[in-house]
Amino acid sequence: MSASSGVPDGRRPTLADVAARAGVSTALVSIVMREAKGASAATRERVLQAARDIGYRPDARARLLRSQRSRLLGVQFGLQHPFHTDLVEGLYAAAEPAGYQIALSAVAAGRGEQRAVETLLDDRCEALILLGPQAPAARLAELAGQVPVVSVARRLRPSIPGLEVVRTADDKGARQAVDHLVELGHRDIAHIDGGRAPGAADRRRGYRTAMNRHGLAEHIRIVPGGLTEEDGADAARALSADRPRPTAVLAFNDRCATGVLDVFLRCGIAVPDDISVVGFDDSHLARLAHIDLTTVGQDIPRLAQLAVGRAIARLEADETADETVAVGEQVIAPHLVVRSTTAPPR
C-alpha cells in the first residue's frame, strides 16, 4: 500500500501517465525527457513537475527498442582479475561523460566467455569491449562481423575488419623488466609464462630478445605458468627445485607473481635476498604493501580511455558511413615500477 508512486495500481508510471497529469501528449513528454528542442520553457517545467510528482523514470528497454542507437557498450571482464576490475573502473569513467552506458558481463567459474558475450549481444550492445579475451581469433573475427569489437590487452592480427586492439607493448615491458634485473647484476633470470593467455606470447618474446641482447642466451629459461596464483605457485615449486636456481624471476602477471612469492616464502627462500621477483600489470594487488611487488606497469586509465574512444569512434563512423577510422591497433608503452621484490643478487 505504499503510496510513494503516483499511479493508483502497482504499475510503474509511464510516459502516458505523465502526459495525462500534465495535460499534454506523450510525444511532448518524450521531448521534454530527452531534453530535445520543441517545447516551451513553461510546459517543459510543467511536464517535469508532473514527472517528479508521480516518480516517473524512463524505461531503458522501451527507449532503446525504439531508437536505433542504444548507446550501450558491452564489457566482458574477469571478476577475479584485479587488472580487469581496475580497467572496468576506468571504462565507466570514460564512457559516462561521452554519453554511453556500460553493460557488464563477468567471466567467472562456471560462466565462460561465450556465455558472457551472448548476454551482451542479447542486450543489444552497440559495441563490445573485451578485456583479455581468450576466445580463438576466428570466434572474435566472427563477432567483429556483427558488431564493432575492441580487444583490450590481447593482440590480434590487425587485419580483421571491425576489430580494434588496444594494448600495452608487452614485449617492451618484458624487456624493461629484464633490463632492470640485469642492471642489478642478475644473469640467471627465468620467466614464468602465461601459456596461451593474452599477451603471453609477446612477453615471452620480449624476455627472449632481451636476454639475447644481453648475451645471456644460455640462461634463457621459460617455465610454463598461467595467469592465476595457483599457476604461479606451481611454477615456483618447479623452479625452487632446479639447480642452479635462477636469481631472478619475471612472472606473467601480478597474480602469478603473488603465487610465486607465496611458495618462496613458505620454502624459506627470501625475496629479494635469495631471489628477485617481477610481476606485470601494476594492478591493485601489486601495490598492497605486504606484497609490494616490483612490476611492469600498464597505464590502466589510458587503456580504458582508448578502448572506449575506439569503440565510440567506430560507432560514429559507421553512422556517417565515413571510412576514415581504420586505426586497428593502439599500442601504449609500459613503465617499470620498482618496489621491494627486486635487489642485486647475493
Closest approach of a copy of itself to the CB of residue 169, in Å:
26
Between residue 202 and residue 231, which ones bind a copy of itself under the rule CB under 8 A? 229
Of 160, 154, 111, the residue nearest 130 (C-alpha): 154
Assess contact for 209 and 171: CB atoms under 8 A: yes
Task: Give 91's contacts (C-beta < 8 A, 6+ positions apart).
Answer: 73, 75, 102, 129, 304, 307, 308
Strands across the sheet containing 294-297: 221-223, 189-192, 248-251, 276-281, 294-297, 335-337
- Answer yes or no whether residue 106 interacts with a copy of itself by CB under 8 A: yes
Would you say 63 or 205 has its CB closer to DNA? Answer: 63
Closest approach of a copy of itself to the CB of residue 234, in Å:
13
Other beta carbons within 10 Å of 323: 8
Q: In the set 16, 27, 60, 333, which binds a copy of itself (CB under 8 A)? A: 60
Report how many helices (DSSP H) and strands (DSSP E) the chain contains, helices first: 13, 12
Query: Which stretch in 17-25, 185-193, 237-245, 262-270 sits in contact with a copy of itself by CB under 8 A?
Result: 262-270
Would you say 4 or 324 has its CB closer to DNA? Answer: 4
Query: Which stretch in 96-104, 126-134, 179-187, 210-218 sits in contact with a copy of itself by CB under 8 A?
Result: 96-104
Would you say 7 or 169 has its CB closer to DNA? Answer: 7
The alpha carbon dihedral of 66, 67, 71, 77 has a sign of: positive
- Answer yes or no whether residue 124 interacts with a copy of itself by CB under 8 A: yes
DSSP string, 54-119: HT----HHHHHHHSS---EEEEEEETT-HHHHHHHHHHHHHHGGGT-EEEEEEEBTTB-HHHHHHH
With CB cut-offs between 5 and 8 Å by kind, which of DNA, a copy of itself, none does residue 88 bind?
a copy of itself
With CB cut-offs between 5 and 8 Å by kind, which of DNA, a copy of itself, none does residue 290 bind?
a copy of itself
**Residue 191 host element (H or E):** strand 189-192
3-state helix, strand, coil in the chain (%, to 5): 45, 15, 35
Other beta carbons within 10 Å of 22: 20
Q: In the set 145, 158, 185, 215, which binds a copy of itself (CB under 8 A)? A: 145
Closest approach of DNA to the CB of residue 18, in Å:
8
DSSP string, 264-295: HHHHT--TTTT-EEEEEE--HHHHSTTT--EE
Closest approach of a copy of itself to the CB of residue 217, in Å:
33
- Answer yes or no whether residue 139 interacts with a copy of itself by CB under 8 A: no
Q: In the set 35, 37, 41, 110, which binds a copy of itself (CB under 8 A)? A: 110
- Answer yes or no whether residue 316 interacts with a copy of itself by CB under 8 A: no
With CB cut-offs between 5 and 8 Å by kind, which of a copy of itself, DNA, none does residue 288 bind?
a copy of itself
- Answer yes or no whether residue 104 interacts with a copy of itself by CB under 8 A: yes
With CB cut-offs between 5 and 8 Å by kind, which of a copy of itself, DNA, none does residue 14 bind?
DNA
User: Nearest-5° angle of CA 252, CA 253, CA 256?
Assistant: 85
- Answer yes or no whether residue 342 interacts with a copy of itself by CB under 8 A: no
User: Nearest-5° angle of CA 168, CA 134, CA 285?
Assistant: 55
- Name the residues that contact a copy of itself, by CB under 8 A: 2, 4-5, 12, 57-62, 64-65, 79-80, 85, 88-89, 92-93, 96, 101, 103-106, 108-111, 118-119, 121-124, 142, 145-146, 161-162, 229, 233, 258-259, 261-263, 265-266, 284, 288-292
